[in-house]
Structure 1
Amino acid sequence: MTENEKYEIPSIDIRIDKEGVWYYEGNEMFRKDILSTFFEELERDSTGRYVIRHNEQIFAITVEDVPFAVKSIEPSQDEQGREGHFNILLTDDSVETLDPATLRMGDDNVLYCAVKDKRFEARFTRNSYYQFAEHIQYDSDKNMYYIKLNDTIYEISPKG
């Protein structure tokens, strides 16, 4: 996409708030079939804007923070009874395995991770953050927060 083309993409009054809730013209969207379609059609253009590509048309939308939110998180154990991985429930009602290497801390200590084959980021809701917080450890010598899975330590990257 060239510099001139980015201005030709029409905007549509669709907004995703920081909790992952979708709105159309200021009203919350609640029809799961429509939301499912929009989640499937969500992309980022070459300028980084979020767009919906629908029926060969493309529309820019407003995203307050990131387009997905982690609604809940659940540990899963490996064969030895250790925490092997975490399953996360996203705002599109899909369940993914958390990639702990993508965890990062944002402003105001908001936790994020990569989702959808690392194409998007998801923001942990307050609920999911507190569910996950009991698994976070702190190393005072290294001044770092981390989680430990299968004897592997994953640092939670600081802001940035």
Structure 2
Amino acid sequence: MNDEAQRLSDQIKKATADFDGRPPIEKWHPELSGDMDLRISREGSWIFKGNPIKREAIVRLFATILRREEDGHYYLVTPVEKWRISVEDAPLLAHGLEVMGEDKSQVITLTLNTGETVIVGDTHPLHMGHYPNSDEPRPVVDVLHGVEARLTTAAYYDLAALAVESADEAANDAKNGCLGVWSNGVFFKLAENS
């Protein structure tokens, strides 16, 4: 690890010593320090100065201080520094999917590439979209601080296997059904019926 990454790591450890779990980055508002030569690829690799970060502990640590701001850019934030980074797609990946219960009572839990888990529901809603100029689906779940995790192909197929047809409750129109999944009492659309 180079000096810049080590400095950030030390700041994070010092700032989070009194907290369990994620650091309180919503309380940190330093001035922009600049652009960091850090890119998160569509495949989820964190690439620093042209080289993949191979230590998972560093990636996990950096993911805890990542946020997306209203300008649409992603930043690594500590109490005293704020670095803009480049993200090709969603910065995190959801690769594991577990289901408990069934029908409207089912709860879907996703495991992220950082080792964290999120329960799909009101706090972590699932969104279905498509890549620009493509029919390729882009399923993502909100994680925290504007950060999303994109479901990997395998996780998306597992999710699609859970799809059921439900009336469009927002439109109160029983004829306008759609395919989707239930999780934690919330219905998430995967596709409109034709």
Q: Which residue of 1 aligns with 2:55?
A: 31
Q: Which residue of 1 aligns with 2:101?
A: 77
Aligned pair partner of 1:113 in 141, 157, 168: 141
Q: Which residue of 1 aligns with 2:164?
A: 137
Q: 1:12-27 residue pairs with structure 2 within 5 A?
A: 12-27=36-51
Partner deviation per Cα, 1:97-148 (whole Å, 9 max, x = no partner):
11278222111212112123x6322111111111111101245942522113
Q: Secondary structure at the match of 2:114?
A: coil
Q: Alignment identity in percent?
A: 23
CA contact (8 A) 1:52 1:61 kept: yes
Aligned pair partner of 1:87 in 101, 105, 109: 109
Of the structure 1 ranges 54-63 and 90-99, higher mean CA displacement relative to structure 2 is found in: 54-63
1:62 has 2:62 as partner:
no
Q: Distance in 2 between matches of 1:149 and 1:83?
A: 7
Residue segments in structure 1 that go unaligned for 5+ positions in a row: 1-7
TM-score (norm 2): 0.65
CA contact (8 A) 2:106 2:182 kept: no
Shift of 1:38: 0.6
Aligned pair partner of 1:43 in 67, 83, 105: 67
1:147 has 2:184 as partner:
no
1:124 has 2:159 as partner:
no
Shift of 1:35: 1.0
Number of residue pairs matched? 149
CA contact (8 A) 2:104 2:182 kept: no
Shift of 1:158: 6.2
Residue segments in structure 2 that go unaligned for 5+ positions in a row: 1-31, 131-135, 168-174
Give the superposed CA RMSD.
3.0
Shift of 1:94: 0.5
Partner deviation per Cα, 1:62-108 (whole Å, 9 max, x = no partner):
01112111111110127xx9852011101211012112782221112
Aligned pair partner of 1:97 in 92, 111, 119: 119
Q: Distance in 2 between matches of 1:127 and 1:157?
A: 15
Q: Distance in 2 between matches of 1:122 and 1:147?
A: 18
